[in-house]
Structure 1
Amino acid sequence: MVSKIRVLLGMLVLLALAIGAIALLAAMKADAVWFRIVPPGILLLGASVAQSLGWFDKKAGN
């Protein structure tokens, strides 16, 4: 079973990291291709790693 609160908080943390990456890329004046690769990559890879580690699962008895 999936904990909705944990998913929400986890995705908010990943969103903050993606926004930070956008700010960093903008400060570095990176090419547009990096803006299309890095932020979605942070969200997708972060979410899949969190799911595979079981961070979004409810604990027994909850």
Structure 2
Amino acid sequence: MLVLLALAIGAIALLATMKAAAAWFTIVPPGILFFGAFVSLSFGWFDKKAGD
């Protein structure tokens, strides 16, 4: 999850350097977080085995 947070912060920095409109700041970072979490949970990357 920290990787997704780092990507979202990087996207904010990139949007700020591009002087993007405010709408992009409300769409892109949450989209990275929610879509990334959905994909990673779907692939089972956060599943912990019983003996770990």
Give TM-score, length-normalised by structure 2.
Answer: 0.94
Q: Which has the higher contact order (CA 8 A, sep 6+)?
A: 1
Once superposed, which parts of structure 1, at least 4 consecutive aligned residues long, lie more than 6 Å away? none
Q: One-letter code of the match for 1:39? A: P
Asked if 1:18 is matched to 2:4, the reply is no
Q: State the Cα RMSD in Å.
A: 0.8
State the match for 1:7 in structure 2: none
Of all paired residues, the percent bearing the same amino acid is 79
Deviations 1:4-56 (A, max 9, x none): xxxxxxx1110000000000000000000000000000000000000000000
Q: For residue 56 of structure 1, give the secondary structure of its aligned residue in structure 2.
A: coil
- Number of matched residues? 52
20, 23, 37: which one aligns with 1:47: 37
What 5-or-longer segments of structure 1 have no aligned partner? 1-10
